[in-house]
Amino acid sequence: LTSEDVDRVYNEYIGNAENRAQVRDGLLDAIGDCVFVLSAIEVARYHRDAGHTVYFYEFQHRPSSATGVVPEFVKADHADEIAFVFGKPFLAGDV
């Protein structure tokens, strides 16, 4: 890693932060990209290179069930999309 690389990463995630909350959000984005996005892209490329069709998406909808459970700065958490993919919002009653 060169100092240019470090500067580029800093500017991408934290460079325009005006307060501590924005620094926190930038660090969370950087960590999320390292832990989830980079590995997901790598796996998607393996499947693509094997000749398979690959669909890649990013889920950003904050479910109403997160209210009072997770901090407000958390948009969509890991696996939050599962209920939407399988239709839970359309079910009636307590499931």
According to DSSP H, which parts of 1-95 are helical?
A: 3-13, 20-32, 38-49, 81-85
C-beta of residue 27 within 8 angstroms of C-beta of residue 13 = yes
CA distance 67 to 5: 38
What's the mean pLDDT when you consider all of the chain?
A: 88
Tokens 């904050």 label which residue? Answer: 62
Higher pLDDT, 17 or 64: 17
Tokens of 93: 């009653």
The residue type of 13 is: Y
Q: How confident is the model at residue 79, as a pLDDT? A: 85
Measure the N-to-C terminal CA separation of the chain; round to a whole number of Å: 49
pLDDT in tens, 17-33: 999 999 999 999 999 89
Q: How confident is the model at residue 59, as a pLDDT? A: 87
Whole-structure pTM value: 0.65
